[in-house]
Amino acid sequence: MDQFTLNLIFVGASFALYIGIAVWARAGSTSEFYAAGRGIHPVTNGMATAADWMSAASFISMAGLIAFTGYDNSTYLMGWTGGYVLLALLLAPYLRKFGKFTVPEFIGDRFYSPTARLVAVVSLLVASITYVIGQMTGVGVAFGRFLEVDNTTGLLIGAVVVFAYAVFGGMKGVTYTQVAQYCVLISAYTIPAIFISLQLTGNPVPALGLFSDTASGVPLLEKLNQIVTDLGFNAYTEHHGDTFNMALFTLSLMIGTAGLPHVIMRFFTVPKVSDARWSAGWALVFIALLYLTAPAVGAMARLNITEQFWPNGTDGEAVAVETIAEDPEYDWMATWQQTGLLGWEDKNNDGRIQYYNDNAPAMQERAAAAGWEGNELTNFNNDILVLANPEIANLPGWVIGLVAAGGLAAALSTAAGLLLAISSAVSHDLVKGRIAPSISEKGELLTARIAMAAAIAVATYLGINPPGFAAQTVALAFGLAAASIFPALMMGIFSKRVNNTGAVAGMLVGLIVTVIYIFLHKGWFFIPGTNSFDDADPLLFTIKSTSFGAVGAALNFATAILVSRSTQEPPQEIQDLVESVRIPRGSAAATAAH
């Protein structure tokens, strides 16, 4: 059976499963659409949360960014994992105790202000739409390769599939669909990693294989360092970047993770507050299975891809052009070339493809002596690495088909969660909460589905011309959530003094300043052909657009506190509400008795 047929079987079977689950668990009320009727078991919710959180950025893009940068891009791992711990400890249980459907609803009630709720809706929409662009980018990459169509066509096909199961299932359908998607994505991520770890090191545990010896007796990381430095690239395991920006980026990812509305919504689906804590613990276990494997996947993939283009080490024997056309070992290059995400050019017409860092002085001298005219691997999109890795390693066809299904599961699971957050904000917080408070439940449900369909259309259009790789686009979304939503949630739970005026001012300052910085730094104008995957020169010190969320959050906190201190304190009933959310019921009476 040919590979294309295998891909269709795996992808088609998984989609049939998702749509079948969505039909079976179709939401029939707003409670089921927004919060799955608050009847989800903590283990089930933990698995669904893991699938919701581990997006195309985690599955498809993160290992690719680590592979081609090395140690410095471990910030993605540290920031996202650390942020989830913040979310689990500082926000999730308290928000579940408050008992609302959405994040803007909590902010509106806590800060006793329809304006605060509206600003929260705007913040949520900006962050979530940016985030879903990253997911649609991943969908386009995966569909483009495994259905052997161009990237844009793949993205459009993915949008139709998301529409088919997310619009009708609501939170109830999406929850059970995400459980199935987690099983698919974690299998698709770990099984190829086990195969490749065995190939390279003989160790079946990828995380341990990362530190094991290769067949030549050289430790894997040491061998990788030697190869990439010989080709003029930075050492894989060393820090080469700006430490300040690296720390700021990690912080931005952490607090952005803790402020993501689509993940927070998952904790509204369990019956009790204690279940929210258990859900968080189980989700961390399920997330760890992928995140402990990701560094190994990145390093092993970089070693494999480098040796593909320089099969005899670094003696100057690059792969021949005719070999790519005739040798089945290089079939993966021809298929990925069709997507437009991989390209090469024999610039000096010597019949070989030279792969090296043509900006490194030592390699420039060597290139001049050998008659090379620059790096001839002209395009290698980082987002293809995890999906192409099994093909590069010549793994069985069924493994490649499984990876196809897994990559799509990762992108679609998070896309569905984000679309739920967007539709809930529009229908519940904007339409019912402000525009038409008397709208019927049936009308609200219809509005939610229309809003979700519109969000899919917008995200698909913008996903055709994204502002960066999937993980980079997602990082921008985290920065926006960090600058706008996270401070409002933290102050809403842990400060009785922050009032409605302060909260609104803080969110507006954080969001507006961060958006302006991103637009100026990134050149993100939503005009086809104008967006660059590379940042311009930083506008403030060395702070990149993906790191600015932490600065926006600091401005949000400072503005909210200063404005609140100079205006009237919140009403007593609001202060009592904050205390009741934060302090366990009955503890105050017990303390007084002692």
CA 380 to chain centre: 20
| pTM recorded for the entire structure | 0.82
What proportion of the chain, given as a percentage, has pLDDT over 70?
A: 89
Residue 335 CA: distances (Å) to CA of 342, 383, 387: 9, 15, 12
What is the DSSP secondary structure assignment for residue 382, as one 8-state letter?
Answer: G
Fold for domain 26-295+396-481? Sodium/glucose cotransporter (1.20.1730)
Is the model more confident about 507 or about 452?
A: 507
Q: Taking residues 432-452, report their average pLDDT.
A: 84
Which sequence spans correspond to the domains of the chain? 26-295+396-481, 302-390
Q: Taking residues 79-94, report their average pLDDT.
A: 84
Among 229-238, 497-506, 534-543, the minimum mean pLDDT is found in: 534-543
Hey, what amino acid is at 131?
Answer: Y
User: Per residue in 368-397, is it b (16+ CB within 10 Å) or e — as a string?
Assistant: eeeebbebbbeebbbbbbbbbbbbbbebeb
361-393, pLDDT tens digit by residue? 888 888 888 888 999 988 888 878 888 888 888
Give residue 2's pLDDT.
80
Among 84-88, 233-237, 535-539, 588-592, the minimum mean pLDDT is found in: 588-592
To the nearest whole number, what is the mean pLDDT of the chain?
A: 83
Give residue 589's pLDDT.
45
Is the model more confident about 82 or about 590?
A: 82
Residue 165: pLDDT band (50, 70, 90) is low
Among 30-34, 292-296, 505-509, the minimum mean pLDDT is found in: 30-34
Among 90-99, 526-535, 541-550, 581-590, the minimum mean pLDDT is found in: 526-535
Residue 594: pLDDT band (50, 70, 90) is very low
- Lookup: tokens for 64: 């690719």
Is the model more confident about 523 or about 256?
A: 256
Q: Taking residues 509-520, report their average pLDDT.
A: 89
Three-state SS string over 233-283 comes to CCCCCCCCCCHHHHHHHHHHHHHHHHCCHHHHHHHHCCCCHHHHHHHHHHH
